[in-house]
Chain A
């Protein structure tokens, strides 16, 4: 094979790196993706850790995968299939439960059982969120303007942003401001009285953050759910057939069809720079590969502090990146099961098992779980977000058997005494004990378990401090501030060196948006 030169090298084969490469390849560039692990996908991988059972090792549902990426890269033709994930089931310690179904009338009847008032409020709330989500949706598809700049493109961006906000009208603008500044719990308090409803809804605001449901700034993530719903018309929301790794594989296939070369087992040690320009990369093996464009799809800490010499960067940026909050707070437990969990409150098999199962009985429960973490322990009674992928895609496990994905919070990266094998197992036991209280048959059904702590995610997936979103999605780390003021446009101070991981706008989750917007930036710069 001829060792063709490359125009661009993408460091990191996570889904954003792959999206970035595919767009660059589509524009005719010769692109090389270098991935440290033996497979691409990063935090969106499916692995058969236990024979016959496929785990979506880290991320487990597809929420915000941008429809324009699905279309531009023709991902369905590359094997992407997104199946509906329909309900959210919250078992309660008092033997009752709360389920929100896909069907409006069923949900209404269920909410009515808990609080007739909430049943009405839920529809109104949904309508408002839907409107707000529709209004802010374009933001996901735009390169954030540099708020410190007077360049015409940045001003135009600000103007466009202003237009979206103005279009909202005073009432909804007011609601948006509240949403951007309040805690999820406080915000929901204004609407609902059912504890389990408020808790389960506010839980989406704490995922991936080192914050509790009562911490300010957690409310706006509520919008994400409704953003997913808007796209839900054409179902970019749900469960990927084959697990989340199938999303990465579809993007990888799309990239390869556009001439992109993928290399796994190729860890990049650093970026080669000369004269303030990126010239290529050096692998850990010592191999050097040249290219005029180098893109880091890693998190900002790695992009700015490890792959390049911080001495080459403005001190202000280095300080910003050092301050960039990337505290990991989540763990993951994956189980192979011989039978389905049998919940005491809703016994036997039923459609409630096919959706999300949330252990979030009350806001206080969540806040207490956070309290443990604040003082350096994992939660004694953690928040769990569970799905049983094999019920949605039977191919995930042998016939009649099941896999269960349990997302766990809180598991602080900075654990007192540090993470050890023994503490990992103790953490795993805590998770299983917590769930077993609601589904007592669980323990005897477990054939295999995989426990991932933030330390494991850092070591194995290359997520600094195990942060699932490459940095918290809190207000001061979003949009034009992600990852740092003046450097939120996918460029870096080093010419030809770009960033496109989840640490850039619009942030974490399997959206592909940072990868795409990064590529658009690069292509624009190359044309100039």
Chain B
């Protein structure tokens, strides 16, 4: 039996679809209802409750805690104030991305790292000579995301915390009855949203409490299928899907640097030593060969391709995550790694790795589509990411 999350007694009851997916060795709901449609819309128009407990979580403590993390990740963690959260990738010596996650400075000497992959050994390997302890709290810490335009109103009713002054990528402590927790204004949807971190022993009580408080606002438990669409709209990459972590790459060509993944903004070459710094410095000096970009498939053209087969456009209801060739003329210049019909934007969108010089927004490319068993090419336009970036996310 695979591991379950601390919310399993609740999510299992709700999961009408009996549709589960693996995430970091845990089973989590793909969708609760028979279709993920309403769960997706909850994220964008009301609020969704997502069990994100499978994330790996590490508490790093001690006078050198910040220094330790700073040595590993590309961002400048010494500048991360208490109560601040930073999103960051981290790399190997070759400057290739190993993983990405968030770092929350809970206190001067206490930081929490979240990760998609196990990183305990990596943290230890890089802690030589530093006064810091590392705790793997992955199993004991439960995490819930409350995401969507109504999330603030719900949490304002549900908890005692100063939410109005909690800015984007900040953290605060809060209390629900006798349960202490931290709230970060973060998430994987690109919308207004929060993540709640607390001891897994309180998981069920917390779930019930939030469901009750959120009900008048339309809070809806949402699974991974809904989240997948939201994160593509938000242009947020997913490990193992949009990039192969360097540790798992069998060949060098499968690895990516932060610059190639649209994460150049996280790389602070001017800070002290960090793993991969030398390679990244060299790479920064030359223009990147690959860039992660948005693609918008042109609808009229797609409609024509289907009309030739006597069909209306047929698209999968869920996001796809396979590698799909992208062309400039007859030359393959890249590959898309995930895509979906965006119910909100009413556009068929994809995340793609595109080779220079075809990366400028507005460039006309083509993406392979299979129409009635035949490979066709649908014109697609290069777009800057994210596709969707509402004001409320930061407001």
Contact = CB atoms under 8 A, between A and B. Distances in A.
A binds B: yes
B299 interface: yes
Interface residues of A, number: 26
Contacts of B314: 233
A313 interface: no
Interface in B16-52: 34-35, 37-38, 41, 44-46
A236 B344 CA distance: 10
A241 interface: yes
B346 A70 contact: yes
B217 A233 contact: no
Q: Which 6 A-B pairs have the closest CB atoms?
A: A399-B216, A394-B218, A400-B216, A103-B34, A76-B345, A241-B45
B301 interface: no
25 contacts: A71-B346, A76-B345, A76-B346, A76-B347, A83-B45, A84-B37, A84-B38, A84-B41, A102-B35, A102-B37, A103-B34, A103-B35, A106-B34, A134-B311, A134-B312, A233-B312, A233-B341, A234-B313, A236-B346, A391-B218, A394-B150, A394-B216, A395-B45, A399-B216, A400-B216
A21 to B, nearest CB: 21
A67 interface: yes
A233 B343 CA distance: 9
Contact of A399 (B41, B217, B344): B217
Interface residues of B, number: 26
Contacts of B46: 393-395
- Which of A70, A234, A391, A400 has the most C-beta atoms of chain B within 10 angstroms of its own C-beta? A234
Interface in A360-391: 391
Contacts of A230: 312
A76 B343 CA distance: 10
A236 B217 CA distance: 25
B249 interface: no
A76 B216 CA distance: 26
Given A394-B46, A394-B216, A399-B216, A235 B35 contact: no
Given A81-B45, A83-B41, A394-B46, A235 B343 contact: yes
A81 B346 CA distance: 9
Nearest to A349: B215
B179 interface: no
Contacts of A76: 344-347
Interface string A61-92: 00000010011000111000101101000000
B315 interface: yes
A399 B37 CA distance: 23
Contacts of B217: 394, 399
A523 B150 CA distance: 43
A64 to B, nearest CB: 15
A83 B149 CA distance: 15
Nearest to A242: B45
A246 to B, nearest CB: 11
Contact of A81 (B44, B311, B313): B44
Nearest to A234: B346
A86 B37 CA distance: 10
Contacts of B37: 84, 86, 102
A333 B97 CA distance: 59
- Which of A84, A241, A395, A399 has the most C-beta atoms of chain B within 10 angstroms of its own C-beta? A399
B346 A235 contact: yes
A103 B153 CA distance: 32
Contacts of B345: 76-77
B341 A234 contact: yes
Given A84-B38, A233-B312, A233-B314, 14 more contacts: A67-B346, A70-B346, A71-B346, A76-B346, A81-B44, A86-B38, A102-B37, A103-B34, A230-B312, A234-B313, A234-B315, A241-B45, A394-B150, A394-B218
Contacts of B315: 233-234
Contacts of A103: 34-35
A86 B38 CA distance: 9
Nearest to A397: B216
B213 to A, nearest CB: 10
- Which of B34, B41, B344, B347 has the most C-beta atoms of chain A within 10 angstroms of its own C-beta? B41
